[in-house]
């Protein structure tokens, strides 16, 4: 399921603070995604040796909206062929 395929919640287009979490099973993939999401105040949490969660929040720097973070995540997933689950305010949006 594509992140951008479902209708976007109102927060996608407004600057409401939203938490984004992506489950990742590889350290290097997690680091790459975290770097990509730096404009969205990203950080990593390692839960087990092979389970990382990349956290970010919107709006990002210079007011970047949620839709830009979701596009970046979708591009990252497509580039790597991953089905990493994505949660927006604790609700799963794909993966």
Domain assignments of the chain as residue spans, ordered by start = 3-92
pTM: 0.79
**What is the average per-residue pLDDT within 55-73?**
92
Alpha-carbon dihedral sign for residues 6, 46, 79, 62: positive
The model's confidence at residue 91, banded by pLDDT at 50, 70 and 90, is confident
Homologous superfamily, domain 3-92: BMC (bacterial microcompartment) domain (3.30.70.1710)
Q: How far is residue 85's CA from residue 93's CA, in Å, rounded to a whole number?
A: 7
Summarize the chain as % helix, strand, coil (round to 5): 40, 25, 35
Give the pair of three-digit tokens for residue 32.
């790459």
pLDDT of residue 52: 96
**What is the average per-residue pLDDT within 40-60?**
94
- Helix (H) or strand (E) segment spanning residue 19: strand 18-24
């Amino acid at each position: 399921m594509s992140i951008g395929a479902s209708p976007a919640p109102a927060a996608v287009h407004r600057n409401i603070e939203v938490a984004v979490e992506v489950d990742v099973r590889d350290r290097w993939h997690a680091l790459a995604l975290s770097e990509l999401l730096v404009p969205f105040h990203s950080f990593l949490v390692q839960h087990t040796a092979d389970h990382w969660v990349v956290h970010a929040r919107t709006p990002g720097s210079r007011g970047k909206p949620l839709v830009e973070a979701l596009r970046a995540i979708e591009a990252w997933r497509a580039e790597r062929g991953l089905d990493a689950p994505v949660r927006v305010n604790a609700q799963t949006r794909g993966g």
